[in-house]
Amino acid sequence: MNFLEKLLALDRRIIFLFIAIAVALPLFFTVKLHIEVTPVVRNLHNALEALPPGSKVLVSLDYDPGSMPELQPMAESFFRYCFMRDLKIIIIGLWPNGPIQANSALEVILNEPDIKKKNPKYGMDYVNLGYTAGNEVVIERMGSDIPVTFPKDYSGNKTEDIPLMKGVKNFNNIDFVYNLSAGYPGTVEWVLFGVDPYKIKLGAGNTAVQAPQIYPYLNSGQLVGLLGGMKGGAEFEIATGHPAKAVKFMFSQSVSHALICFFILIGNFAYFATRKKKGA
């Protein structure tokens, strides 16, 4: 068996090893990748920029640990952006794990030096209202009364007593809604039960697999902007001028994508070369 034939029947484990290296090694470096911000992300960023400081932003985290690699960086970069711009954050979850994910993202962001200087206060600048069962019905109920839908926050305080929630009755008192979604219930439900009846302004981040199903809502204008998968997360970080986890992870993405393409090419090269030989 010569080299080319060996290459043709390459042991899978060699590919596995290269993939592991291609993903792990770039994590040690911080590289300024050129990532172009696509219009769908740009639109979301512009809509957020238009909000005056003090605006109230509702963040619905509708995912679980399975989608953390893609959506957690989006949650972190969004919280960072809000704190820097003095936007008030109201967190909820339509998935039971959402508010837990929010807390772990907040833990990361609140420890960043820039944010520490701002010193956001729980109850004044951000609040976590926790999870309520009922999927899309929760959105409908929030349309008429948010404090009734979420009577207590994540740690059991009465929603009415929280300073940030003063004057927040329903969607009329919310300036923007941001939804991170990994499936049902998620962005589709926010569009159908939030945007359509209550005319809320909605931006979303989705897993890459989910994103194509959401595109029609962008074209129709029901959705302001969309972050699709890790790349969308990275674009948002670039747009907000604060490259972080997603940008860093994108280096791994590029290297591993390039590696797969490279393997496909050498596989075909070996295939052609051996075929020629046999023909000769």
Partner 1 sequence: MKKTKAVLFSILIILFFFNLSFPQENLSPLPPTEVRASDTPNDNGHSITVTWKLSGDDGADKKNVVAYEILRSDSPTGEFIVRGMVPAGNNTYQDRGAKEKEDKNYFHPHKDFYYKVRAKTLNSYSESEVAGPAQAYGEWFHLGKLPVFVGTVTFTIMVLAFISLARKGKEFYVRPLAGIDAVDDAIGRATEMGRPILYILGLGSAADIATIASFTILNRIAKKTAEHKTKIIVPCNDPIVMSVAQETVKAGYLDAGRPDMYKEENIFYLTSMQFAYVAAVNGIMLREQTATNFYLGKFYAESLILAETGSVAGSIQISGTDEIAQIPFFVAATDFTLIGEELYAASAYLGREPLLLGALKAQDLAKAIVMISLALGALAASFHLGFFLKLFTVQM
Partner 2 sequence: MRRQLPILIVFVSGVFMVIQYFIPHESFEFIYEYAMDWIIIIGIFAMLLGLWSLTRASVSKVQAKAPGWGFSVMTLVGLATMLFLGFYKGNKSIAEGTFFMDLFWYIYTPIQATMFSLLAFYIASAAYRAFRVRTVLATILLVTALIIMLRLIPLGPISGVNQWLASWILTVPNMAAKRAIWIGVGLGATATALKIIFGIERAYMGKD
Partner 3 sequence: METIGIWIAALLTLGIFSFLYKDNPFYKFCESLFVGISAGYWFVTTFWQVFMPKLADNLIAGRFYYMIGAIFGVLMLLRLFPKIGWLSRWSLALVVGTTAGLYFTRYLVSNGMVQVQNTIIPLYVKGNLSQTIGNLVIVIGTFSGLIYFFFSKEHKGAFGGLAKLGIWFLMLSFGASFGYTVMSRMSLLIGRMDYLLGTWLGLIR
| CB closer to partner 2 out of 134 and 212 | 212
For residue 12, state whether it binds partner 2 (rule: CB under 8 A). yes
Burial of 105 (0-12, 13-18, 19+ CB in 10 A): buried
Please count the CA atoms within 13 angstroms of the CA of 169 that sit on its side-chain side.
3
Identity of residue 170: N
C-beta separation of 18 from 26 below 8 A:
no
Instruction: Give the footprint of partner 3 on residues 194-253 (CB under 8 A).
Output: 207-209, 212, 229-231, 249, 252-253
Closest distance of CB 199 from partner 1, Å: 5
For residue 263, state whether it binds partner 2 (rule: CB under 8 A). yes
DSSP 223: S
Closest distance of CB 198 from partner 1, Å: 7
Q: Quick one: tokens of 114?
A: 């820039």
Buried b (16+ CB within 10 A) or exposed e, 111-122: ebeebeeeebee
> Residue 169's closest CA among 198, 147, 149, 189?
147
For residue 144, state whether it binds partner 1 (rule: CB under 8 A). yes
Q: Rg of the chain over CA atoms, in angstroms?
A: 22
For residue 254, state whether it binds partner 2 (rule: CB under 8 A). yes
Stretch that binds partner 1, among 25-33, 39-47, 178-186, 196-204 (CB under 8 A): 196-204
Site residues (vs partner 1, CB under 8 A): 12, 144, 170, 172, 197-199, 209
Site residues (vs partner 3, CB under 8 A): 13, 16, 19-20, 23-24, 27-28, 68-70, 207-209, 212, 229-231, 249, 252-253, 256-257, 260
